[in-house]
Amino acid sequence: MRAVIQRVTKASVTVDDKLISKINLGLLILLGVETNDTKEDIDWLTRKIANLRIFNDDKGVMNNSLLDCKGDAIVVSQFTLYAATKKGNRPSYIKAAKPDVAIPLYTTFVSQLENTLGKPVGTGVFGADMKVDLRNDGPVTIIIDTKNKE
């Protein structure tokens, strides 16, 4: 799994001019699912995201996690995170999981993050043409790949 995590002061997802999800302080998580991803990837990534200390404490130092600040989250599926651009100019998405694999892993990820945070998590609509609006705070943007745990 590959996630682009953005600390936001607000974010929303709209599909066909209909508001699907909206948060204030929290994380907008763009999630790509690879064919070989497993429950272990979900376990590791949800735990990592919930505990990632990227929110400021009262001294302005990034010492607090999403759990600490009781922030919200939106998870948006994004297969383009697995774009291969080595050859030519047209990206290949061969590493991205097909919907029959990706959807169950995506929904499990969302459910597990909800359980970890103890609150509902916003989503987009899998496979839809989504409009994602956000105000990145910082800006703070972190990329995490479960196959390359740096």
Q: Is 109 assigned a catalytic role? A: no
| Look-up of token digits 């200390």 | 53
Assess if residue 50 is contained within a domain: yes
What is the separation, in whole angstroms, between the first and last Cα of the chain? 13
Decide if 99 is inside a domain. yes
Q: How far is CA 36 from CA 6, 42, 110, 118, 147, in A?
A: 25, 12, 18, 28, 10
Buried b (16+ CB within 10 A) or exposed e, 45-67: bbeebbebebbbeeeeeeebbbb
Active-site entry in 79, 116, 123, 146: 79
- Indicate which CATH number applies to the domain containing 31: 3.50.80.10
| Interstrand relation of 55-56 and 26-32 (parallel, antiparallel or unpaired) | unpaired
Which domain covers residue 29, as residue numbers? 2-145
The catalytic position among 78, 112, 116, 146 is 78
Query: Domains in the chain: how many in total?
Result: 1
Nearest to 113 by CA among 62, 63, 61, 76: 76
* pTM for this predicted structure: 0.95
Of 9, 35, 38, 80, which is the active-site residue? 80
* Each residue's pLDDT tens digit, 37-73: 999 999 999 999 999 999 999 999 999 999 999 999 9
Decide if 136 is inside a domain: yes
pLDDT in tens, 90-122: 999 999 999 999 999 999 999 999 999 999 999
